[in-house]
Amino acid sequence: MRKFGLIGYPLSHSFSKKYFSAKFDREGRSDCVYDLYEIDDIQKLREVLDANPELVGLNVTIPYKLQVIPFLDQLDPACEAIGAVNTIKISQGRLLGYNTDYYGFKASLEGWLGGLRPKALVLGTGGASKAVAEALRDLGISFLFVSRHAEVGNDTVVTYQQLKNQGELVDQYHLIINTTPVGTYPSTELTPEVPFNLVDSRHMLYDLVYNPEMTAIMKAMAARGAKVKNGLEMLHLQAESSWEIWNS
């Protein structure tokens, strides 16, 4: 039996088990299984590995995309540049780190934007934002990170308060990308602190959240005339990239 799975905390929102289980059924892969490994501390990764010697691949989700790196034996060069891991290949006892969020997001965003290259505001500075930032750089899109707190000496980070106080930021940056988990089921009524009164039909929102299908921030921006998209297509693309890595 070949085992695959997902580590993170919590995992009640995850689509991965359903996606891969359906894939295995559809493709007649009776020798493959995908499980969820909900761990409340990254130190418990070793327990998961010891208890499941058949594991050949893991996905990594919030909050461990950065924390898992010290546990890995090697990073894919592209993943090293991003600085976050969402896929682990287990080969001959070695843990090899990759980032398929980058590939999934880049392909999905590029197709959605067509030839447009609007300046972007990236909500959040966690693991998912690292892959998004690398994809934006490769697409030639300038961006700013948006965080609750300012970072001294870092002029690429602005605060949510600055978005409210400096209306020109929202006026000039027409692509908004939510890389935070805010609005994910079951807390579906929550939104990042975007000044929606400054949003109009020039704006586009790409929300990496996919559950629910229409998040509160998507509803709020669509009501102001913005074009919106959730992260489900990205999830499918990154999952297939993970599968390719595990079987390469």
The token pair at 1 is 């039996």
Helix orientation angle between 100-113 and 232-246, rounded to the nearest 10 degrees:
140
Question: Could you give the CA distance from residue 189 to residue 220 in angstroms, rounded to a whole number?
Answer: 11
Give dist(CA 155, CA 145) in Å, integer: 9
Per-residue model confidence (pLDDT) at position 62: 87
Q: Give residue 153's pLDDT band: very low, low, confident or very high (50, 70, 90).
A: low
Q: Which spans in 114-200 are helix H?
A: 127-138, 160-165, 167-172
CA dihedral of residues 232, 234, 237, 241 (deg, nearest 10) = -130
Q: Is 220 helix (H, G, I), strand (E, B) or coil?
A: helix
Using DSSP's 3-state secondary structure scheme, residue 177 falls into strand
**Fold match between domain 2-98 and domain 102-233:** yes
The values of phi and psi at residue 62, to 5°, are -50, 135
pLDDT tens-place string over residues 81-115: 899 999 999 999 999 999 999 999 999 999 999 99
pLDDT tier at 15, thresholds 50, 70, 90: confident
Judge whether 65 counts as a catalytic residue: yes
Write out pLDDT tens, residues 167-216: 999 999 999 999 999 999 889 999 999 999 999 999 999 999 999 999 99
Give the residue extent of every domain in the chain. 2-98, 102-233
| Superfamily for the 2-98 domain | Leucine Dehydrogenase, chain A, domain 1 (3.40.50.10860)
In the three-class reduction of DSSP (H, G, I as helix; E, B as strand; rest coil), residue 55 is classed as: strand
Is CATH 1.20.140.10 what the domain over 102-233 is classified as, yes or no?
Answer: no
Residue range 212-231, pLDDT digits in tens:
999 999 999 999 999 999 99
Looking at residue 127, what DSSP letter applies?
H
From the candidates 18, 23, 65, 119, give the one annotated as an active-site residue.
Answer: 65
Q: What is the mean pLDDT of the chain?
A: 95
DSSP 8-state code for residue 65: T
CA atoms of 39 and 29, how far apart (whole Å): 27
Distance CA 228, CA 123 (A): 15
